[in-house]
Structure 1
């Protein structure tokens, strides 16, 4: 898969590569807001920490072999996953984006997300 094709698949997430690691990030506030609004009364805002909570559930349940390899470094306005294993991070990014595009899957996963 070309880098351009990969970027298109994971969009609106974006890939950033450093020498020894890579990260996949999202500027929060536009993509999948309705998911987070469904639990707004519990305190979810759709910020980077909420995204990391959702991604953690996905990772633990759907890609447990990558737990410990994929790490999260969220901020209020930015969700970010990173790893020194670039191929593992690519696998995670594609699978996570795929799950997010299926309303039933994302709703189910988010039902187990916890506020950070």
Structure 2
């Protein structure tokens, strides 16, 4: 069985008794994307990642909107869910989007500063 954390690096999937979380310590991944809009105030912090992930959720996987919650912090991006299957789907697809430079740039252009 393949470990989801191997698939979604540098994101990490954490599973608890009744929920799961997808986290990323900011500053170690895709910094160049956030630099594209630094003059608007984007820094690449957890809130900026949350804004990007929200656009992704709404545009690419809207069927998961009811299951995914956001809890970013300055130094960490975090989404969570009680539905582990939905969270895993979000994790894999968001990582795939992040690895697609054209797609992630287009999504980021729609992100709003939090």
TM-score by length of 2: 0.98
| Runs ≥4 residues deviating over 4 A | none
Map of 1:80 onto structure 2: 78
Task: Give the unaligned 5+ runs of structure 1.
Answer: none
Distance across 2 between alignment mates of 1:90 and 1:9: 11
What are the ranges of 5 or more consecutive residues in structure 2 without an aligned counterpart?
A: none
CA distance in 2, matches of 1:67, 1:61: 10
Cα distance in 2, alignment partners of residues 103 and 23 from structure 1: 25
Structure 2 CA distance for aligned equivalents of residues 86 and 49 of structure 1: 23
Q: Equivalent residue for 1:91? A: 89
Match of residue 26 from structure 1 = 24
Q: Residues of 2 paired with 1:68 and 1:114: CA distance?
A: 20
Q: Alpha carbon RMSD of aligned pairs, Å?
A: 0.7
1:15 offset after TM fit, Å? 1.1
Q: CA offsets, 1:83-111, max 9 Å, x none?
A: 00000000000000000001100000000
Q: TM-score, normalised by structure 1?
A: 0.96
1:7 maps to what in 2? 5
Equivalent residue number for residue 44 of structure 1:
42
Deviations 1:38-95 (A, max 9, x none): 0000000000000000000000000111112111100000000100000000000000
SS in 1 for 2:110: coil
User: In structure 2, how many angstroms separate the alpha carbons of the residues matched to 1:57 and 1:24?
Assistant: 16
Cα distance in 1 between the residues matched to 2:66 and 2:45: 22
